[in-house]
Amino acid sequence: MCLGVPMQIMEGDDMSALCARGEETRRVSLLLLGPQEPGTQVLVHIDTAIRVLDAEEARLIEDALCGLEAALRGENFESHFADLIDREPQLPEHLR
């Protein structure tokens, strides 16, 4: 299974950027997005930035990834999905 992860751009040029997520850093391609400012949150998939994220969306994705890790360890994971508690999941507009 492949997952996209939110990462923050630390520095970069027209073609690539050094990005960080927690303690991990890696150089990712910016060819799909173009140059981005340091501090920008991007969704990274297979070492390629595929989309710019706003802070809230980056947080929700990070929470979901932490929830997945907790579930795999057999720990309580529900608190990581607070945005889904007490409501049914909604399909994106283009799938309705």
pLDDT confidence tier of residue 83, bands split at 50, 70 and 90:
confident
Q: Which amino acid is at 57?
A: E
pTM over 0.75: yes
Q: Chain-wide mean pLDDT for the chain?
A: 92
Decide: 76 and 70 in contact? Cβ < 8 Å.
yes
How many CB atoms are closer than 10 A to CB 76?
Answer: 10
Q: Where are the alpha helices (DSSP H) in the chain?
A: 55-72
Q: How far apart are CA 75 and CA 78, in angstroms?
A: 9
Q: What are phi and psi of 82, to 5 degrees?
A: -55, -30
Q: What is the pLDDT of residues 9-34, one digit of tens each?
A: 999 999 999 999 999 999 999 999 99
Interval 28-45 mean pLDDT: 97
CATH level 2 (architecture), domain 1-53: Roll (2.30)
**Tokens describing residue 91:** 């399909």
